Structure 1
Amino acid sequence: MSVLRCVEGEDDGVGVTELAQRTGLTPSTAHRLARALTEAGVLSQDPRTERYQLGPALVVLGRKAEQRLGYRQALPLLEELAEATGESINLGIRAGDEVRVVLDVASRQPLRFSQEAGSRVPMHVSAMGKCLLANSGDIDGQITELGDLVRATHRTITDRDQLRAELELVRERGWALNDEERNPGVRAIAAPVLRPGGGVIGAVAIQGPTVRVTDDRLPELAELLDKATHRIAALLDAR
């Protein structure tokens, strides 16, 4: 998994030496694992550069997983939300201590902020991440599992007590705000996609520049999110 995640983030591929350095494996072990994954089609190797990239077998696996989990069924609802708000929309799920973007709809505005499907974001700097943390059981336990709260901007929450208070507020009001905590000039508001029987499936975020995602718009955006996430929950929970 470490090898796959290392290769995933590099469009130009990764060499064996880089794989070993980034994963902490010995060069011989990194080479052995990369070759085994290549033989299985999970990785592919450029014959010219000898660098490893994601392989064709992942396309098939991804399509099967997408079909089984039913995320694509939620895309029309995300598109409706993008049209209603004029901003970019994401559906994200939890992947360890990060949020992984599953679906994205980019705003039509020339000034916009969007995250492509497959992107990963640290939980504590993400509105979606805060929703997932706040609705996954004991808040203190969730914070402990995060490890270091790395600062991304001067507004990033790096104090655990402050993050605890923030997550309690998210749980109480039903939505979270990322107020330039990851990218300067960008705000995001998100709400959890909750299972009718309990538990959290994912989260949906509306994100855009601070000049448009203003305080006076937050109640309206929160209401639109609430309606959308309830409809999405019914679709995904049925899967």
Structure 2
Amino acid sequence: MSGEPSSQPRSGAQAVERALSVLRCVETDNYGVGITELAQRTGLTVSTAHRLARTLVEAGLLHQDPRTERYLLGPALVVLGRKAEQRLGYQQALPLLEELAEVTGESINLGIRARHEVRVVLDVVSQQPLRFSQAPGSRVPMHVSAMGKCLLAHGGDIDGEIARLGELVAATHRTITDRDQLRAELELVRERGWALNDEERNPGVRAIAAPVIRSDGGLVAAVAIQGPTVRITDDRLPELAELLEGTTRRIAPLLTAPLTR
């Protein structure tokens, strides 16, 4: 990416967007990011990236490793995250996801919308030796995710939702990349109340998901059961869908923040 244009006016909103881009960049790298790499990834000049990084370090939102000088997420985010987890109801929802994992024997995720992706918020890992899980913070394109399909199908006008996705990139040979086919799939999800990811992101992995909808109609999240195709078979889908429906109905009153696009 090129450096920032010198003619672009500075504003408070622009500064916030740049700071957020720095945080997102560091978030995706478990080993930290150096200042030159940070500037390249965000499209900022080195001096601007350094100034923003230092400000975020002072606020505790970033931490700079004194040995490597690389930037990592900071301790203040732990405090903020725990407060948000409690206020938004995720802390109360976790035991219900653990119960679902125990009953099904599979990994469970709760995800929310992050623009054109699903962000995993909660994860309960299966105790089976052969399993599939996604760590909290993971992001997945919506069209290759059972949770994403739920969020799209119940997020409003289906055609508008599909149009906002942009190109439907294939992750496997089973990924839906045709818009008409995706529209039909989302209409089916809306009709039956659950979505299936049938090896559309990872070969050998299936997921079934249902939306979390409050009594006032607000869409707040989606919950998925995921595992190997040898266990999540067609004959199990009705049972898993029923278990999902019961779990999402119990979780819905606990979650307070409606989804944003």
TM-score for both structures, normalised by structure 1: 0.97
Aligned pair partner of 1:20 in 25, 33, 39: 39
Question: What are the superposed Cα offsets for residues 156-188 of structure 1, whole Å, 9 maximum, x if unpaired?
Answer: 111111111111110011000001111110000
SS in 2 for 1:103: strand
Question: For residues 179 and 44 of structure 2, what CA distance do their matches in structure 1 show?
Answer: 32
Alignment of 1:204 onto 2:213: no
Question: What are the superposed Cα offsets for residues 4-43 of structure 1, whole Å, 9 maximum, x if unpaired?
Answer: 1110111110011111111111222211111111111100
**Amino acid in structure 1 at the alignment position of 2:76:** A
SS in 2 for 1:66: helix
Aligned pair partner of 1:48 in 53, 57, 67: 67
Alignment of 1:125 onto 2:112: no
Superposition map of 1:112-191 within 5 A: 112-191=131-210
SS in 2 for 1:219: helix
TM-score for both structures, normalised by structure 2: 0.89
Q: Percent identity?
A: 83
CA shift for structure 1 position 234: 2.3
SS in 2 for 1:102: strand
Question: For residues 107 and 83 of structure 2, what CA distance do their matches in structure 1 show?
Answer: 27
Aligned residue in 2 for 1:192: 211
The answer on whether the counterparts of 1:153 and 1:181 sit within 8 Å (CA) in structure 2 is yes
Aligned pair partner of 1:31 in 44, 50, 66: 50
SS in 1 for 2:131: coil
Aligned length: 239
CA shift for structure 1 position 112: 0.3
Distance 1:101 1:238, change over 3 A: closer
CA shift for structure 1 position 64: 1.2
**Amino acid in structure 1 at the alignment position of 2:234:** D
Question: For residues 21 and 155 of structure 1, what CA distance do their matches in structure 2 show?
Answer: 34
Question: For residues 257 and 76 of structure 2, what CA distance do their matches in structure 1 show?
Answer: 28
Question: For residues 57 and 216 of structure 1, what CA distance do their matches in structure 2 show?
Answer: 47
The answer on whether the counterparts of 2:86 and 2:92 sit within 8 Å (CA) in structure 1 is no
Question: For residues 28 and 146 of structure 1, what CA distance do their matches in structure 2 show?
Answer: 34
**Amino acid in structure 2 at the alignment position of 1:34:** A
The answer on whether the counterparts of 1:87 and 1:108 sit within 8 Å (CA) in structure 2 is yes
Aligned residue in 1 for 2:232: 213
Alignment of 1:100 onto 2:119: yes
Question: What are the superposed Cα offsets for residues 35-92 of structure 1, whole Å, 9 maximum, x if unpaired?
Answer: 1111111001111111100001111111111111011111111111111111001111
Question: For residues 60 and 39 of structure 1, what CA distance do their matches in structure 2 show?
Answer: 15
The answer on whether the counterparts of 1:136 and 1:199 sit within 8 Å (CA) in structure 2 is no
**Amino acid in structure 2 at the alignment position of 1:74:** A
CA shift for structure 1 position 199: 2.3
Question: For residues 247 and 176 of structure 2, what CA distance do their matches in structure 1 show?
Answer: 28
The answer on whether the counterparts of 2:170 and 2:176 sit within 8 Å (CA) in structure 1 is yes
Distance 1:176 1:45, change over 3 A: same
Aligned residue in 1 for 2:86: 67
Distance 1:114 1:238, change over 3 A: closer
Question: What are the superposed Cα offsets for residues 183-217 of structure 1, whole Å, 9 maximum, x if unpaired?
Answer: 11000000000011112110000000000001111
The answer on whether the counterparts of 2:35 and 2:70 sit within 8 Å (CA) in structure 1 is yes
Question: For residues 70 and 215 of structure 1, what CA distance do their matches in structure 2 show?
Answer: 33
SS in 1 for 2:123: strand
Question: For residues 148 and 190 of structure 1, what CA distance do their matches in structure 2 show?
Answer: 23
CA shift for structure 1 position 151: 1.3
